[in-house]
Amino acid sequence: MDRTISDNERTIDFGSAAEALESELAAVCDTGWSELTEDLRRIVFSGGKRLRPKLAWLCAAIGGTQSERVLPLMVMLELTHTASLIHDDVVDDAPKRRGVDTIHVQRGRAAAIHSGDYLMGRAMQYLKAYKELDVDKIIGDLTCEMCVGEYMQQDTAFSLEKQPLEQYFLRIKRKTALFLKACCLVGAKVGGLPEQTQEQLGEYGLNLGMAFQICDDLLDYSSARKTGKKGGQDLRCGVFNLPFLCAAQLSPEPEMLALAEKRRKTNRDVERLIRYVKSSGGLDRAKEYAEDYTEKALSALKQVPDGPARKSLENLAAALVRREA
């Protein structure tokens, strides 16, 4: 028998807001220079989840804020994220992003850097809509933290000594989790929510971001990955993610640890390391960390008003830890 769905069990439809976001992103990509426009459209519309603007929209929706008020914020967050991805791909020399050619592969590194800078510049133009809410300070602080996180990653590459577990958590906090926290926080601010609710949503975003990055680490060991990236990409780059660090704690085999620090790895080397992580229980231990952070994210929502937006945030957290791409 069907049962009645209560208000706090309903979710909220992102459809119309998503359509408005896609339309605005298309306008941003229309640069007046055909090659740049083509490159930006290829990356911007390559199948991203739009997670960051969705988080901001849902948090604003808790306060009943209309989508029109949140749209500039959503666009700004997605552009900032995409700009960072373009720059990351240059640093990592990644040939694909979400299954399509990266800009530096088709046009060169300089063109890719300028493309990322263009999107960041356009992103900053949207901040004027929220000058009274200190959104610019939050995004400015976030951008600095992300850069420090990326610098840390490059500076410690291929060194297990420089990448202990506590350093890993600090790095992913700066690179990923603080961005999701900022999305929730600025969405709550635009939504006019009380300061305590803003803090709870920020705490939700922070823990969601930690879980999200750990799940991304787990996908680095999956043959089912749909992003276009090779499996074991972190290991190739000397970045020791959580499954590997857990494996190193559980079964510290000297040969495998030395192989991980090798700067030029063959495909066979990477395959051996992936088997080592799987056989040592590294994946299972990392999943436990992801589940713990997800529980912390859900716990933070308990102080947030019930309703469809909160339910959607709960469902989003659950879905992220089950994702396959």
Q: Which residue has the tokens 């909160």?
A: 310
**Segment 68-122, tens digit of pLDDT:** 899 999 999 999 999 999 999 999 888 888 889 999 999 999 999 999 999 999 9
Q: Are residues 209 and 320 in the same domain?
A: yes
Q: Are residues 168 and 97 in the same domain?
A: no
Q: In the prediction, which pLDDT does 223 show?
A: 59
We report the CATH number of the domain holding residue 73 as: 1.10.600.10
Q: In the prediction, which pLDDT does 3 show?
A: 32
Report the alpha-carbon distance of residue 216 to residue 212 in Å, rounded: 6
- Domain edge (last residue) among 97, 132, 167: 132
Q: Are residues 167 and 306 in the same domain?
A: yes
Q: Are residues 119 and 179 in the same domain?
A: no
Q: In the prediction, which pLDDT does 321 show?
A: 77
Q: Which residue has the tokens 């849902």?
A: 58
In a domain, 139, yes or no: no
Q: In the prediction, which pLDDT does 227 show?
A: 53
Q: Among candidates 267, 222, 259, which has minimal Cα distance to 240?
A: 259
User: How many domains in the chain?
Assistant: 2
In a domain, 8, yes or no: no
Q: Which residue has the tokens 């030029």?
A: 264
Tokens of 70: 């949140």
Burial class of residue 167 (count of CB atoms within 10 Å of its CB; 0-12, 13-18, 19+): middle
Q: In the prediction, which pLDDT does 1 show?
A: 29
Q: In the prediction, which pLDDT does 27 show?
A: 97
Please enumerate, as own/partner, the contacts of 316-321 that have beta carbons within 8 Å and a separation of 24 or more.
Answer: 316/54, 316/55, 316/58, 316/208, 317/204, 317/208, 317/211, 318/294, 320/208, 320/211, 320/212, 320/215, 320/294, 321/211, 321/215, 321/290, 321/291, 321/294
Q: Are residues 286 and 185 in the same domain?
A: yes
Q: Residue type at 214?
A: I
Q: Are residues 128 and 168 in the same domain?
A: no
Q: Are residues 294 and 165 in the same domain?
A: yes
Report the alpha-carbon distance of residue 172 to residue 179 in Å, rounded: 10
Q: Are residues 319 and 172 in the same domain?
A: yes
Q: Are residues 34 and 93 in the same domain?
A: yes
Q: Residue type at 247?
A: A
Q: Are residues 205 and 306 in the same domain?
A: yes
Collect the ranges in the chain with pLDDT lower than 70: 1-9, 223-229, 324-325
- Domain edge (last residue) among 132, 150, 185: 132
Burial class of residue 133 (count of CB atoms within 10 Å of its CB; 0-12, 13-18, 19+): middle
In a domain, 143, yes or no: no
In a domain, 81, yes or no: yes
Q: Please give the residue range of the domain that contains residue 282.
A: 159-325
